[in-house]
Structure 1
C-alpha cells in the first residue's frame, strides 16, 4: 500500500511538468510540412519576378505540386485536414468574422469559420496565379495581355491575403491566449480550460492483490468527439460535484449552431 501511495504522489508531481498533458494533437505532420513549404515557396515567388526568372518559375512549379498534394490530403488526410465540413464553416464565416472583430470567439481545435474561408480563398487565388503563370510563359499565350493581368492581379491579391492571414493569426492568438504559430510547428493545441483542470483521471485498476496507481488519460479521451461544432468542452463530470450547465457561447456562435442544425 505504501508503494501504491508513493506511485500516486510521483504521478501527480510529474504531471504539471509534462508540457503535453494539457495539449491535444490537431495538425498532422504532412499538413504542417505543406503549410511551411507553401509559405516558403510563395515568398520566393513574390520576391523573384522579373529579376530571377528561373527561380521564380521553379517556385511556381513547386507551388503547383503543393496545391495538388493539399487537394488530395483534404480527402484522405487527418481529421482536421479534411474538406468534409468546409461548406458548413463557410456559411458561418461572415457572422464569425463580425464576432471576432468584437472580441467574441468560440473554441475550435481545427480551423474556425474565418480560417476555413481564408483557406478556400487562398487556394483559389494560388490556383489562378499558378495556372496563369504557366500560360504566360507558354508559346501560345506568351504576351497575351489578359493572361499577364490575371497573373499580376492574383499574385498581388495573394500578398494582401498573406498579410491578412498573419494579422488574423496574431489577433486570434491574443484573444484566445494561445500561440497559434507555435501550434503549426508542434501540431498540438491546448484543450479547453475545463479539461485542463484535470490532467490525470484517478482511475484505479482493480486486481486480485488490491489497487495500483492511477493511469493517466490522454486529453483526446476527455474532450467532445464532435468535430469542431460546437466549440469543444469536457464531457466527463466530476463525481460528487454539481453538474455544470452548458458552456455559454457568444450570441453569434449560438446563431451559427442553430442555423447549421448542430446540437450540443
Structure 2
C-alpha cells in the first residue's frame, strides 16, 4: 500500500460538518424550530466557504482538479463495468458529479428554506413544495453516495471513508493511479 496525502483539514471538517448538520436537520430537529432555521444558515455558510475553498484551497480541494469531462465519466463507468481497477487520487469523475449535485441541492434547500421565512414568500405553497422536494432528492443522493462509496471502496481496495477522516488515501501497489 502506498499512502497519498489528499484531503486537507478544511475539506474534511466541511464534509463531516455537512453530514452531521444535514442529518440533524432532516432527522432530529423539529422543522418548525428556530434551531432548524439556524442549522440551515450554518449549512449555507459552510457551502459558501467550501465554494470559495474550491478556488483558493490546495490542489485536491480545487474544483479545477476534479470537474470531470464526459470522457473521464465514460472511462470511470467503463472501469466499473469491466472491473478494471484504476484509482483517482482526488475525487473520481462520478464522485465529483455527486459532490456538485449535493452542493447545489443543499444550497437550493437553504435558499428555499430562507424564502419561507420572508414576508414575500411566507405561506406560499410552491416554495415549501420546492424545499421538501429538494430535501427528498438530497436524501436519495446521499443514499446513492453512501452506496457508491461502499462499492468503490470494495472495488478499488481503498477505504474511502477512512481517507476522508485521515486525509490520506492508501492505494494498493498494483493499482493504476489516475491524476
TM-score when normalising by structure 1: 0.62
Asked whether 1:154 is paired with 2:101, we answer no
Q: Mind listing any 5+ residue stretches in structure 2 that lack a counterpart? A: none
Distance 2:45 2:161 in 1: 24
CA contact (8 A) 2:7 2:60 kept: yes
Match of 1:28 in 2: 8
Kindly indicate whether the alpha-carbon contact (under 8 Å) linking 1:107 and 1:192 is maintained by their aligned counterparts in 2. no
- Of Structure 1 and Structure 2, which has the larger fraction of its residues in helix? 2
- CA distance 1:94–1:122, change in 2 (3 Å): farther
1:68 Cα offset (Å):
0.7
Distance 1:126 1:51 in 2: 16
Write 1 or 2 for the structure with the bigger share of strand: 2
Q: Which residue of 2 aligns with 1:64?
A: 44
Highest CA radius of gyration, 1 or 2?
1
Distance 1:101 1:168 in 2: 14
Cα–Cα, structure 1 residues 56 and 48, in superposed 2: closer, same or farther, change >3 Å? farther
Question: Structure 2 residue aligned with 1:107, among 60, 73, 87?
Answer: 87
1:146-225 equivalences under 5 Å are: 146-191=126-171, 193=173
Q: Distance in 1 between the 2:82 and 2:174 partners?
A: 24
Structure 1 residue 192 displacement after superposition: 5.3
- Counterpart of 1:231 in structure 2 is 178
Higher relative contact order (CA 8 A, sep 6+): 2
C-alpha separation in 2, matches of 1:180 and 1:125: 23
Aligned residues: 178
CA contact (8 A) 2:87 2:171 kept: no
> Structure 1 residue 94: deviation in Å?
4.4
Would the aligned equivalents of 2:18 and 2:43 in 1 still touch at CA under 8 Å? yes
Residues 80-131 of structure 1 show CA distances to partners (whole Å, capped at 9, x for unaligned) of: 00011444x1422245235425533421110010111101111110111110
- Partner of 1:107, secondary structure, is strand
Runs of 5+ consecutive residues of structure 1 not aligned to the other structure: 1-20, 196-229, 233-264
Name the residue aligned to 1:97. 77
